[in-house]
A and B are shown apart, each in its own frame.
Chain A
Amino acid sequence: MAEGEGRCYHVAMPRILPLLLLLLAGCAAADAPFEERRLATIAGDARVLVPVTFSQDGRRAAYVEQRGDACRMVSGDHVGKPYGILC
């Protein structure tokens, strides 16, 4: 099984996901309640390109949205630089 990983979908992780996880790593609040909540609403003219990434405490989500020709990372109020391609 040198490179085989079986039928497990976690191996096919888009490149951007680890970076989104890093962004979210600093967002956890130690005393935050672990509860169900709506985190965001995707804008009507935006397309989400990769699976949404979540902080471990469930308080933040990050995703890459495409609007027109630009792609950018969005997490709460933080909106990243626009790029032609994010992968």
Chain B
Amino acid sequence: MNGRQSIALNEKVYAPYGTDWSITWPLIFSVEGAVVACRLTSEKTNRGCIGVDGVRGEEFDRVGPPVLSRDGRHVAYRAHEGEKCFVVVDGRRGPSFEFMSDPAISADGSTVAYGASRGGRWSLVLGREERPIDRRPTFVFLSADGRSVGYGVEEASRVRVVVNGKPGHPFGLVGRPVFSPDGSLATYAAEDEGKQFIVIGETKIEVAGRESDPVFSPDGRQVGYGARIGREIWWKVLAVR
């Protein structure tokens, strides 16, 4: 729009960060959709920062995509300055590392988890605790209460999801895992050798036409996912056993 980068929400267009800052997609929404966050890059300095509802945060050499708590009041992201990287939670810097994954945040924003490497050794950082792990985690996910944590690791071109320390089946691809409401199980989509699966806990179920990542029902007794079968769009449901 006149060379300016804009955001269109529900047919309404606005440009909250001005012409000096370019928005890196995707936009990140809080669960209720009330708060919008994104990565910004300065057209003048090429440095980055996080914008939340039109307000820019501190500038760094680079920043990763932000994560928001359920109500959008808490934000966490990976930031880089020189050779070091660290997590930034509500504007406060965490400890420095050489490498790190993007963080995950609990529903209330009180717990942040991420994978990080210092001196060639990887750790899973959960709050203030650093748990040694033997491989680089490609992503980290948390339960709503922040007590259960999982991560993905690559092994010989395959991906394995580790839930509360227990490794799952290896797959060619995996989607975005989520924990059940009580944090006892995780579910995620996976693909391997042309077949699609939904994994619930330690059980993998072959499915067809899956288009979305699975989610737990509010009571945790079922898992639902979106599917496209021919020209029909379906919501499919699986029982949790």
Contacts and interface: CB of A to CB of B under 8 A. Distances in A.
Contact of A5 (B99, B139, B191, B234): B139
A38 to B, nearest CB: 5
B232 A38 contact: yes
B100 interface: yes
Contacts of A22: 9-10, 29, 33
B82 interface: no
Contacts of A48: 228
B218 A34 contact: yes
Most B CB atoms within 10 A — which of A21, A34, A81?
A34
A17 B7 CA distance: 13
Contacts, number: 124
B11 A80 contact: yes
Interface residues of B, number: 54
B33 A41 contact: no
B157 A7 contact: yes
Interface in B56-113: 62, 64, 80, 85, 99-101
Nearest to A11: B139
B100 A23 contact: no
Nearest to A52: B211
A13 B26 contact: yes
A30 B157 CA distance: 41
B143 to A, nearest CB: 16
Interface in A33-85: 34-42, 44, 48, 51-54, 56, 58-59, 61, 63, 80-81
A1 B99 contact: yes
Contacts of A13: 26
Contacts of B164: none
Most B CB atoms within 10 A — which of A8, A13, A17, A21?
A8
B31 A25 contact: yes
Interface in B20-69: 25-29, 31-33, 62, 64
Nearest to B224: A58
A58 B226 CA distance: 7
A9 to B, nearest CB: 5
B6 interface: no
B235 A37 contact: yes
Interface of A: 1-10, 13, 15, 17-19, 21-23, 25-26, 34-42, 44, 48, 51-54, 56, 58-59, 61, 63, 80-81
Given A8-B174, A17-B26, A61-B226, 6 more contacts: A2-B62, A8-B139, A34-B219, A35-B237, A58-B235, A61-B235
5 contacts: A7-B158, A19-B8, A19-B9, A39-B233, A52-B233
